[in-house]
Structure 1
């Protein structure tokens, strides 16, 4: 019997897990639009290396319980985000490896997810693995991307403020306000 061909964008997860099947491949980073939207303007996703991914389906039989459908999702990507200190592109390596349990209903998923450390989702009719991988990569993005050490020195608040072109120092706006408050003129 010829092995079944699975399509990641329309995956029959129940059959995939029952057969203990696996899939792997690469996608251009720009094909994941929501991830590409996170790109630094100077380093768009079309210039990123392709992301690598793999899926492994599995049925687990707990003692005294019904069979459980599990999916292992692995992905690696190199993305360029905007450093929140210097506002220059910073490369981030994303590496995910998660097991997700699938159950029959949304209500069951919500109940089990609240009581468990495992990721639990409702079983879809057809799973779009590309969308699932993208979701996991988005969750792996750093909240505040930044360089370990920024490539250019940062300006500090206590640095000297440059004088106006005429060479005169700018007046302190609070001094003028204090003068007005005392009844004088600025």
Structure 2
């Protein structure tokens, strides 16, 4: 029997799972345009390592029902983001290991997804695996990227601590001004 060819950019999920097929490969990072949009401006995306991925299809039998369609996805990537402490570029490794349960329609997916720890998606005949990989990588990005310990911390804006204290002393206390105003407007008995 001839083994079927599966296209990761146009994947028939149900057939892929029923074949218990697997695919693997890598894509250049620049092919994931939405992921690249958040990159540090100083970084050259062409220098990023390729995004490595692997997917396995599976049909899980259910007693008294239809088999469940599953995809297991693993991805390794590295992006360069801007550290929010020192504003320097920093490499962020990303490693995904996800299972996706595919169901017949969007309504069922929404109902099951609310109650399940697994990701539940609606069945599609033509899944763009690269788009799914990019979505998952975007979800895995840190909200506030920052080094554990910045190589070059930003210089202090005001200089040393004495200058900061002097500037603080020169500024009038807004509550003292309010108390003075309050005292002037109240007639004395």
TM-score (norm 1): 0.85
Please report how far the alpha carbon of residue 2 of structure 1 lies from its aligned counterpart in structure 2 after TM superposition. 1.8
Counterpart in the other structure of 1:37: 37
**Deviation digits for residues 165-185 of structure 1, max 9, x if unmatched?**
xxxx99x9846x9xxx99xxx
Counterpart in the other structure of 1:132: 132
State how far apart, in whole Å, the 2-side matches of 1:88 and 1:47 are: 17
Please report how far the alpha carbon of residue 160 of structure 1 lies from its aligned counterpart in structure 2 after TM superposition. 2.8
State how far apart, in whole Å, the 2-side matches of 1:31 and 1:10 are: 16
Counterpart in the other structure of 1:107: 107
Contact 2:85 2:153 in 1 (8 A): no
Counterpart in the other structure of 1:7: 7
Counterpart in the other structure of 1:149: 149
Please report how far the alpha carbon of residue 74 of structure 1 lies from its aligned counterpart in structure 2 after TM superposition. 0.7
Please report how far the alpha carbon of residue 38 of structure 1 lies from its aligned counterpart in structure 2 after TM superposition. 1.4
Please report how far the alpha carbon of residue 157 of structure 1 lies from its aligned counterpart in structure 2 after TM superposition. 6.1
Please report how far the alpha carbon of residue 145 of structure 1 lies from its aligned counterpart in structure 2 after TM superposition. 0.6
Contact 1:79 1:93 in 2 (8 A): yes
State how far apart, in whole Å, the 2-side matches of 1:38 and 1:153 are: 22
Contact 1:72 1:98 in 2 (8 A): yes
Q: Secondary structure at the match of 1:79?
A: strand
State how far apart, in whole Å, the 2-side matches of 1:35 and 1:160 are: 40
State how far apart, in whole Å, the 2-side matches of 1:17 and 1:114 are: 24
Q: Secondary structure at the match of 1:8?
A: coil
Give the CA RMSD over aligned residues: 2.7
State how far apart, in whole Å, the 2-side matches of 1:159 and 1:108 are: 60
1:89 and 2:57 matched: no
Please report how far the alpha carbon of residue 64 of structure 1 lies from its aligned counterpart in structure 2 after TM superposition. 2.7
Q: Secondary structure at the match of 2:133?
A: helix
Contact 1:36 1:44 in 2 (8 A): no
